[in-house]
Amino acid sequence: MSNLKGRVALVTGAARGIGLATARALGRAGASVMLTDILDTDGQNAVAALEGEDIKARYLRHDVTDEAAWQNAVAATEKAFGGLDILVNNAGIFFAKPMGETTIEEFRRMQAINVDGVFLGMKTAAPAIAKRAGKWQGGGAIVNLSSVAGLAGAALAVPYNASKGAVRIMTKGAALELAPQKIRVNSVHPGVIETKMGQQVIDDMAAVGVMGGANEVRENLVTLHPIGHFGLPADVANGIVFLSSDEAAFITGTELVVDGGMTAR
Ligand code: NAP
């Protein structure tokens, strides 16, 4: 198991789903974790649950589209835990519908959260992470949540494709730019994961009627995963812990696909 004792992590969108599982997995590996989100009650309950497991955790309200909120989140993390070593850009939104029914405002809102949020996070956190990246064999780490939709097209999800494709290639640019500062930057590409967003994928597809009702959509989507089921948040979190650790010291600018074999076809 990776040892992150002494590290400090900031995880966005951490009140539930993959973000919460990531905060828990980083904490179990020894890191102190700042959980941020816009869901305050869920975020505070998440911290209470982690503290019950002896994980050092705090919650902060933080909208990832807001640059001033990013500056506040990084400063609050340094103040609470003495530094910042790991950033997980996890917050994101999804919707599926035909392009003809999608407004430019909906397209831009998705880019604001899924793309601007990742850019602002890397921009704001990198100077803080660089301060003590030399302390760790594997340096500092940034992990960005992309998707299988950042690797291949998905009908009815063109705005999401745009956002997750951007995250994939922004990650590579940032990896090159931040390597001299001993900060590694990698992207993670989940298939369908059992979270509220995973359920929204099913509900939106069912609403459009392309694969039948919700039960048929679920069955059809499961068949896309050769392993035979959707992933769990912890499946993604375990990969993020690895990429954050010294065990990944020579890994930067790469893509970790966590999709039950979906894109191996
Ligand atoms: P989730 O359960 O919907 O959790 C995402 C969290 O981010 C929610 O708490 C959400 O709050 C929050 N959030 C949304 N907008 C935000 C903002 N502007 N600032 C801060 N937080 C915000 O989603 P998930 O399934 O855990 O997904 C996590 C990441 O993995 C996302 O980037 C997603 O695109 C990616 N991913 C997920 C899947 C999947 O199947 N689940 C597959 C591939 C990739 P609200 O409820 O208020 O929106």
Please name the residue whose Cα sits nearest to atom 32 of ligand 1: 92
Token pair 């956002």: residue: 163
Domain positions in the chain? 8-191+234-259, 195-230
In this prediction, residue 30 carries a pLDDT of: 98
Which atom of ligand 1 has the smallest separation from the CA of 15?
9
Per the structure block, which two tokens stand in for 198?
A: 């995973």
Of the options 1.10.1270.20, 3.40.50.720, 3.30.1330.10, 3.40.50.300, the CATH number for the domain spanning 8-191+234-259: 3.40.50.720
Tens digits of pLDDT across the chain (265 residues): 789 999 999 999 999 999 999 999 999 999 999 999 999 999 999 999 999 999 999 999 999 999 999 999 999 999 999 999 999 999 999 999 999 999 999 999 999 999 999 999 999 999 999 999 999 999 999 999 999 999 999 999 999 999 999 999 999 999 999 999 999 999 999 999 999 999 999 999 999 998 899 999 999 999 999 999 999 999 999 999 999 999 999 999 999 999 999 999 9
Please state, in angstroms and rounded to a whole number, the distance separating the CA atoms of residues 158 and 15: 27
DSSP notation for 228-261: SS-B-HHHHHHHHHHHHSGGGTT--S-EEEESTT
Number of H-type helices and E-type strands within the chain: 9, 7
pTM of the model as a whole:
0.99
pLDDT tens digit string along 214-246?
Answer: 999 999 999 999 999 999 999 999 999 999 999
CB 62 within 8 A of CB 125: no
pLDDT tens digit string along 128-156?
Answer: 999 999 999 999 999 999 999 999 999 99
State the catalytic residue, choosing from 59, 94, 119, 160. Answer: 160
* CA dist 214 → 115, 154, 209, 210, 226 (Å): 29, 18, 9, 10, 20
Is 160 among the catalytic positions? yes
Please state, in angstroms and rounded to a whole number, the distance separating the CA atoms of residues 215 and 221: 10
